[in-house]
Amino acid sequence: MTQWHSKSRKKRSGGFRNSVNRSTKKLAWKGGTFAATKVEEKDLKTSIRARGNNLKQKLKTAKTVSFTDLKGKTSKAAILSVLENPADRHFARRDIITKGGIIEIEVSGKKVNAIVTSRPGQSGTISAKLYEGKIESVEKKAEKEAKKAKKPEKTKKETKKAKKVKKTEKTKEKEQKD
């Protein structure tokens, strides 16, 4: 089924948008439903008719990933969970895999992190490369930003006043020594 990803014809105020009135349908606004590939016990694909009478494979559930290590060797591994997903922080909680998401995989008994390089809802497979970076969850990032926001920053006036106070204290100390 086709979804139209375009602006609404109406503004918040209730008036009509002139930019949308020029045409009602554009091929660029046409899109499909979100595949929402989840981590489960088996791989499940669906075929959808694409443009030009071609078939597009959408991966609904995934168990394995084809990953490339640092040496360039490609092999398969089992997916354990989704650690982080930059598309939406709730995707990690729901174990939804999209491109750019960081997943935890099991390679010869070890837990390793990999970053997804393919689009599972478009290609029907999950390809990834090993991820050596440090994983910082979205919640931790939000907490750090909140802490930074809580710290009151001194304004220019406050810093100038503090400098003047220090200068006067120094001059008083010099006068007392003399």
Q: What is the pLDDT of residue 154?
A: 62
What Cα–Cα distance (Å) separates residue 134 from each residue in 83, 98, 100, 115, 131?
A: 12, 19, 15, 12, 8
Q: What is the pLDDT of residue 157?
A: 67
Q: Which residue has the higher pLDDT, 149 or 22?
A: 149
Domains (range + CATH), the chain: 34-134 (3.10.290.70)
Q: Which of 107, 102, 105 is nearest to 134 (CA)?
A: 102
* All residues at 6 or more sequence positions from 116 whose CB lies less than 8 Å from its CB, including other chains: 65, 97, 98, 99, 100, 101, 102, 103, 126, 127, 128
Q: What is the pLDDT of residue 119?
A: 92
| pLDDT at 132 > cutoff 90 | no
Q: Which residue has the higher pLDDT, 13 or 175?
A: 13
Cα of first residue to Cα of last residue in the chain, in angstroms, is 90
Q: Is the dihedral of CA 171, 175, 176, 178 positive or negative?
A: positive
Pairing of strands 44-50, 64-68: unpaired
| pLDDT at 165 > cutoff 90 | no
Q: Which residue has the higher pLDDT, 82 or 164?
A: 82
Q: What is the pLDDT of residue 133?
A: 74
| Tokens encoding 37 | 């590939």
Q: Which of 76, 125, 134 is nearest to 105 (CA)?
A: 76
Work out the average pLDDT over 119-137.
Answer: 85
Q: What is the pLDDT of residue 21?
A: 55
Of the candidate ranges 89-93, 115-119, 130-134, the one whose mean pLDDT is the lowest: 130-134
Integer Cα distance of 99 and 122 in angstroms:
10
Q: If you write DSSP's letter for every residue of 58-75 in order, what string do you get?
A: EEEEESEEEEE-TTS-EE
Q: What is the pLDDT of residue 56?
A: 87
| pLDDT at 113 > cutoff 80 | yes
Residue 130 β-bridge partners: 114
pLDDT in tens, 54-102: 888 899 999 999 999 888 899 999 999 999 998 888 998 999 999 999 9
Q: Which residue has the higher pLDDT, 51 or 64?
A: 64
Provide the pLDDT confidence category of residue 173 given band limits of 50, 70 and 90: confident
